[in-house]
Amino acid sequence: MFETLKKAPVDKIFALLGEFRADPRPEKMDLGIGVYKDASNNTPVMRAVTKVEQQMLDEQTTKTYVGVTGNRGYCDAVVDLIFGDSIDLDRVASVQAPGGTGSLWVIIQLLNRARPGGKVWISDPSWPNHWPMMELAGLNPQSYPYFDPETRQVRFEEMMAHLDQLGPDDIVLLHGCCHNPTGANLTPEQWDVVADSLKRTGAFPLIDLAYLGFGDGLETDAYGVRKIAQTCPEAMVGFSASKNFGLYRERAGVAIAIGKDKDQAAIVLSQMGNVIRASFSQSPDHGAEIVRRILTDKALRAEWEKELGEMRDHMLRNRQKLAASMRKQSNSDEFDFIAEHRGMFSLLGLSKEQVEKLKEEHGIYIIDDSRVNIAGVPEDNTDALAEALIGVTR
């Protein structure tokens, strides 16, 4: 059996983390893996999460199965968080899934049932897992222009020229906010244009929402996903609670479908349940129940929103400080985009060789496409980081 197999390609992000952990240099810096870090370089358990876990320990009396589509209160609370009262919730079907990746998995299995082997248009570049996930599901990944490495902005005209030509058999994958890896995002006006185009062409929007609240705030970050759901008759959203609740290893996500009406939503719900049953049967409950308790309790929710705001402010401060240090070190405004981007990442535009040099000479670990994790930037030491970054480019 196994003689037919070759070694699978390594996941470059987790491989880099392994190298970082093995590096003995005390001044080493991990700007690679996409997890939030506070000023002491720790990925904290959020305060509201710790409180709720204690509650659960005291109150939970059973660990029996929850059900195929998961914790209903959790799914409803997440749907409410994302959409508020922007759409008629009768159109919405939601199921619990293991993290953002698990949510996307359920969604693309369902899309492959609806449009077997269908084309999924993915931004160039995108989260490295999008492409192989589509292939594994039997869908046909393709790319659309998104990021201009010269200006470090969205190539919006080219993107739209591409999207405007699509049709009802096409699926368009959009990052709901905080684009990974570029940090370059659509403005509200640009979301309006994208939504109108999708409505006109009938192309199907699939939104990956892994960083809600990490950009400009919960409401502002939800603009795009709400606009699409309001404008297009159908859409799907893969939500992750990994980053905004700090629940990475608990695997809490929600797969959401917005249908034309209540009847369509019911059909899609039954299909998503059917996919889950045949894939992994049920999702882990712990993280989902934490999120449910936080979102449905006024005081806990306020505490969570406050800490999420602190995390966002930390990343914004890091952006401003690093951009200022880069301006000083490079004597130019070339890197001002770092302060303008939003979310946990920015793509710096360094070559693979320059990225390698950063690792070898300075112990600074970033992904080889030159994506930096802004949360990992040392707030009090941005000058040293900027000096190293500019050093390898000169």
Ligand X SMILES: Cc1ncc(COP(=O)(O)O)c(C=O)c1O
Q: Which amino acids are annotated catalytic?
A: 127, 208, 210, 243
Q: How many residues bind ligand X (CB under 6 A)?
A: 13
Which residues make beta-bridge pairs with 141? 120
What is the contact mask toward ligand X in residues 252 to 271, using x (rule: CB under 6 A)?
Answer: -x------------------
Q: What are phi and psi of 372, to 5 degrees?
A: -110, 140
Cβ burial, residue 260 (10 Å; 0-12/13-18/19+): exposed
Overall size of the chain counted in residues: 394
Q: Which one among 16, 20, 34, 366 touches ligand X, defined by CB under 6 A? A: 34
Closest approach of ligand X to the CB of residue 243, in Å: 7
Scan residues 207-226 and list those touching ligand X (CB under 6 A): 208, 210
Instruction: With contacts defined by CB under 6 A, name the span among 49-57, 240-248, 292-300, 375-383 that binds ligand X.
Output: 240-248
Output 156 or 345, the one with its CB closest to ligand X.
Answer: 345
Q: From 128, 109, 127, 65, select the one nearest 257 (Cα to Cα).
A: 109
Closest approach of ligand X to the CB of residue 104, in Å: 6
Closest approach of ligand X to the CB of residue 34, in Å: 4
Closest approach of ligand X to the CB of residue 247, in Å: 8
Determine, following the binding rule CB under 6 A, whether residue 101 of this chain makes contact with ligand X: yes
Closest approach of ligand X to the CB of residue 127, in Å: 4
Decide if 337 contacts 370 (C-beta within 8 A): no
- Helical spans, DSSP H, in the chain: 12-22, 47-59, 72-83, 99-114, 130-137, 156-163, 188-201, 218-221, 223-231, 262-279, 286-295, 298-330, 337-340, 352-362, 382-393
Q: Which one among 71, 242, 244, 382 touches ligand X, defined by CB under 6 A? A: 242
Determine, following the binding rule CB under 6 A, whether residue 96 of this chain makes contact with ligand X: no
123-128 own/partner pairs: CB under 8 Å, 24+ apart: 123/147, 123/159, 123/173, 123/174, 123/175, 123/179, 125/181, 125/182, 125/347, 125/369, 126/173, 126/175, 126/180, 126/181, 127/175, 127/180, 127/181, 127/208, 127/210, 128/11, 128/12, 128/13
Determine, following the binding rule CB under 6 A, whether residue 99 of this chain makes contact with ligand X: yes
Output 242 or 325, the one with its CB closest to ligand X.
Answer: 242
Q: CA angle, corner 330, sides to 327 and 332, nearest 5?
A: 60
- For residue 394, the 8-state DSSP code is -
Output 128 or 145, the one with its CB closest to ligand X.
Answer: 128
Closest approach of ligand X to the CB of residue 95, in Å: 15
Scan residues 56-85 and list those touching ligand X (CB under 6 A): none
Output 35 or 56, the one with its CB closest to ligand X.
Answer: 35
Four-residue CA torsion sign, 33, 35, 39, 44: negative
Output 170 or 208, the one with its CB closest to ligand X.
Answer: 208
Output 284 or 349, the one with its CB closest to ligand X.
Answer: 284
Scan residues 158-217 and list those touching ligand X (CB under 6 A): 175, 180, 208, 210
- For residue 10, the 8-state DSSP code is P
Q: Which one among 105, 127, 144, 304 touches ligand X, defined by CB under 6 A? A: 127
Interaction site with ligand X (CB under 6 A): 34, 99-101, 127, 175, 180, 208, 210, 240, 242, 248, 253
